[in-house]
Structure formats: structure tokens, C-alpha cells
Structure 1
Amino acid sequence: MTKRIHPAPENVTATAIAVSVPALTDQSPSPTQQRFNRLLARIDKLKQQLDALHALADTQRPLHNRTLQPLRERRHALMRQMALWIDERLQGQGLSKAHRQTATDILCKLCETLATDGDEAMRVLHDKYSPLSLAEMQQVAAARVRAAMEDRLGRPLDTDLPLDTLDDVLFAGMRQLQAEAEAEAAEHAQAKVKRKPSASQRRADQQQDDADTTLRKLYRQLSSALHPDRELDPAARSEKHVLMVEANTAYQRRDLVALLHIQLRLAQADPQSLSRMAEDKIESMSLLLKQQTAELERELDSQEQQMGHEFGLPDYAPVSAASLRSHLAMEKQALNQDVAAMEQDLRTVRDDASFKGWLKQQKQLAERYDDFDPRDDW
């Protein structure tokens, strides 16, 4: 299921696509021309959605940071304060063995979270109490994931990396899986080449060749028209340089629509000329538009997933200004509740009786819920 962006926020203006196949005065567009125009409209819509998505992210990002960062920093400071308090208390007397073990477990989990955020002092404090240092814990996790990946591959990971960290193992494993997928695809393509192509495959190959030729020919026409040596006026030369950069980018992206726009801006083409093109020429251009549409849809899906991850949206939640505002309000409320609870706990544990009661409560929660983690409260 794919997230879809909702109406664009204010201040987002989309450039309408002026390229289309117009009807001649004595007839309506042919089915081929109509398909071409529908593809143009689809590309226009996808580009507007991408522009709106980028604008929405640029608008929401500073708002999220201003709202949540102070609360996260306050929570971090409170976690650190609790860790230091428990460390101080563990160095004293009066705690039973069970109390000391519970306090040590909580301390190590707090320090692990803080060290992951880059707090080196908390890494040192963790290693002071934990039977395994954080570096050793990471090596254990890396070894476990490596064993699972090698079991999946059926052979050892082929890499020169030391594979001491989880990131190294994941990188090596994904690279090897990708290499195997590419080799399998190449083998499949080679087998396909050896087979005698069907009539439909020959037609498809010819259409692809025609499409590539159309794109290449249009790009060469633009390159010739935009060559800087053919323009003496400095202002016009600068303008053509900008257009040439746009044309190069469009050609690399196989963006037929952008190339057609540049052609019209150079007055190299009359919009009415599209209606006089041969059907096979429009068909080849339509194939390029289909491919461009598919690429834009993939790009939109990827951008929506990245944005959902960046702002912590639930899976499959729609990406919209309303959903981001709603989620931001929920995150702010949850952080405020965390901070208030932590401040209360810090006030509570200042005397021995309350500290022991708090430790007992944490242990009971751990026994009641197998997946309970003190860091859920802290």
C-alpha cells in the first residue's frame, strides 16, 4: 500500500504543462494522441505531487525541530541525571543484593540509550557495571546477524571488512545479496537473448529503439541550438547555458517532457506540429512518457517513505500537512508526559525508602511484562 500526498500546501505553485497534441480544426485527436495527452497529464500531476511533498517537508522540518528538540534534550538530561544518581547510590550501603541488581540493570539500560546518542561518559559508566561492554555487545549482535545472513546465503560473507560492527555486517550482507540478484538477472537476460524473440518481443524491441532514437534526436537538436559558440550576445549566451544544463539533466533522466518544453521555449517547435506527427512517432514518444511516469511514481513512493520515516509517521499513514500536525501534537504530548514522569521519579528516589520502593515497582513491571524495558518510562 502506498502513501499518497494530499492537496498541496499554500505557496506551492505548479507549472502547467503546455505540451500536448492539439486537435486539428477538422478532426478530434486520434486514440494515439489521446493516450499521449493522458500520459502528459499524469506526468504533470506526479511532478506537482513531488514539488508539494518537498515544500511540505521544508515547511514542517523546522517546526518539528523547534517543537520537539527542547523536549528531547530535557528528557536526555533527566535520563542522565537518573543514571548518575543510581551510580552514586550503588556506591553506598543499605541496598540488598536484589535491589542492587535491579538498580544496575536500569542503570545499564539508561547508559546504553544515552551512549547510543553519543554520550561518551555514559558509555564509560555502562561498561563500569555491565559484564559486557557496549563494544562487546555490538560484536555479539553483529555475530548473530552475520550467522543469520550466512545461513540465508548458504556460504560465508565474501568481504575484506572486519565485520566487527552491525553496520559492517549489514552492509556486506546487502552488497552480497545485491550482487547475487544482479548476477541472476544477467543470467536471465543472457538466456533471453539466446531464445528466438517472439513477434510481440520484436515489436516491443523496435518500439524501444524508436523511442531511444526520438529522445536522442531531440537532445541533439537542442544541443546544436544551444551551443554557446553560436551566440555572440553575452546575456543570450548565459541564458542558453542555463537551458543547456537543463537539457543535459533532462536527457540523463530521460525526461521527454522537459526536453519538449525547452524546444518550445527556443521556438524550435510549434505546438500544432505535434498534431501533424506520424502515429508511429507519437507511439514512440508515448513509450518514453510511460517509462518516465513509472520512474516518477517510484520516486514519489520513495520520497513519501523517506518523509514518513523522518517524521515518525505510522506505516501507511497518509503524508499531508494535517497528518504531520496531528502526529507532531501526539509526539509533543507524549514527550511532555515522559518529562513530567521523570521529574516526579527523580523527586521520589531522593530518600532510601522511596528509592527501594521504586526499584521494587520496576522489578514487578519487568516480571509482569516480558518485554518491559525501564527505558519505556525513562
Structure 2
Amino acid sequence: MQKDLVVKKRTSTKSRLLKRYEELLERIEDIQASRRNLEEGLRVAIPRIQSQIRPLLTDRDHLIRKRLFRLDELADEFGIGKHERGYFQEFMTEQAAEVLDRVGFGDMELGELFEKYAGEPLKSDAKVLAPIAQRFRDEFGIDIDVQEMLDVGVDNFLNEHGEEIRKKQAEKQEAKDAEDLKNFDPAAKQKVSRQQRAMLQDARAIYLRLVKKYHPDRETDEAARIRKTELIQQITSVYEESDFLTLLKLQIELLEEEEMDAKTLAEDMLKRYTRILQKQLDEIQQEVSYLKFTNKWLFENFFGFDGKFNERRFKRFRKMVREEIERTQRDLNDSKQRREGWFRDWIKGIKAYQQETAD
């Protein structure tokens, strides 16, 4: 009777180190997918946002700015009671600051309006923006004029220079990829990093060990030889695909229980490559974080957590801004038809809103 090949697997549970290695691989795969989604989403979304959203936002901010000056004009004309004056000043200060933040500090008239109600000039975020400008210079060779960023607003600045930034990002990645092909000579021994060399050596050691144990040539039983042949094909395929983790798993699962040095070898390898993977993960996360930062407004409003452009969010946002424009325009028209009544209604609304938010 033919004797079946029995592949003895370790019955012990996964080590914490192996679990950590697998988790890192999974996280790297997820965040790489997120980066690809975000890059593709930006490529598709930016032209549409430039043509369909940006003009609407400009119109909206223009109308809000116009309403602030209308409120200021009527406040001077009709006056404000002492019980409402504090609420009105706080509201005008906050609203002027918000609009300035969007349209930029270069709007001198709006800056003066802010100062009128705040009692002091609006302080710019030059100290906050300086490190950002330095990072652009260091990473992409782009000289950022901090004052220009302040004058036009951070979002507007990143939008206006977005194409240049993305081009520099792409050039940097292409240069990084091309470095591996620099002075390539098929006949020459290729240079690899110490980490890559160690991984190649470890993978080969595992491969040779498994092949030696399960090579079918000396197997006399036909069924067992077929099974060993299939197993060797699997091992060879994994090795040729440089699937290091699967090789480690095969070593742990297929070698005999008494071969304790196999486990020790695998654990030593895992320690090394867990550190390597953690470094890779940190680098990719930094790239994704930077990509999100340079497109912060876009990402917050038009992308999902997976980094994909969300068509529903886009349409909802566009509809919301259009409705806000229509409401604000109607409100401004109302301010011309019933000037004092409109102003008094706003004073009541501002007081109620400020009291509510203060609670």
C-alpha cells in the first residue's frame, strides 16, 4: 500500500513577532492603496474643482464680505444699544477674521474693518507658515513667498501653485525610481542595500533548507513524490516572487518540530525585517500626510477615508455653496428694501447666536 506524504505543521500559535510583521505588511498595503487612490482622485478632481467649485467660493466670499460692510455701514447709521454692542463687535471680529483667512490678508479694507471691531490689527500666521515654506524649499526646491501666502490665503495659494507642487512631487518620485536604474549594466553585479542583501541571503537560506528536506528525487513512493513535487513548485514560486513572509511561514510550518533552530532563525529574521517594515511604513505615512496637507481643503471636503474622490460629496458641496450664495444675495437685497428692519433683525440674531454658543 502506498504511503501518503504527511507534511507536519507546527501546532504552536503565531508568535507575537510574526503577527506584528503581518500587521505591518497589511498596513503598508492599505496606506499604499490610499496613496494611489488619493493621487488618482486629485488628478481627476482638481480640474473639476477649479472650474466648478472655486468660482462659487469666490462669489460666496465676495457676498459675505459685502454683507459685513453693509452691517458696519448700518451700525454707524442706526447705532447699537449698549447691551448688544459687545455681541456685535465679537461677531464682526470673528467673521472678518474668517473671511481674511480665506481670501488673504492682502485685503486691506477688510483688515481695517477687523481692526475697527477687534481694537487691534489682525496678526498673521507668518511664524506658523515659515516652517511650511522651508519644507517646500527643502523637499521640492520650490521657493515659497510667505507674505504672498498670507496675502492671498493659504488655500488659495496652494490652489494657485498646486500644479507646480504636484509636478515637483512627481519629479522627486521619478528621480527616486530612476536612481535604481542609474548606470545600469546587465553584466555587472548590481548594487543593493545592506538590508536588501541580508533579505536575499535569508530568503535563499530558507529556500535551500526546504528544498533539501522536500526534494522529490529520492522519494520512492509515487504519491509522495507527486506531493513533494507540488510542494517544491510552491516553495520555488514563492522564492522567485521574493515573497519573504510566505517563505518564513513555510519554514515554520514545514520543518520538523524538533528542528528548533528553524524557529530561532525565523525569529531572528523577523526581528530584522519588522524594523525595516516599520521604517517603510513611517516613510509612506509621511508621504500621505504631506499629500493630504498640501491638498487639505480638497481632501476634507471631497475625499473619503480610503483616499478616493467622492462624487456624492462633490455634488453635495457644490449644491450647498450655490444655496448659500442665493441666500446671501437675497439677504443683501433685503437690506436695501428695509434697511433698519433688516439691521435690527441681524442684531437680534447675532445676540441670540452669541449667547447660545457661549453656553
* TM-score normalised to structure 1 length: 0.47
Larger radius of gyration between Structure 1 and Structure 2:
2
* TM-score normalised to structure 2 length: 0.48
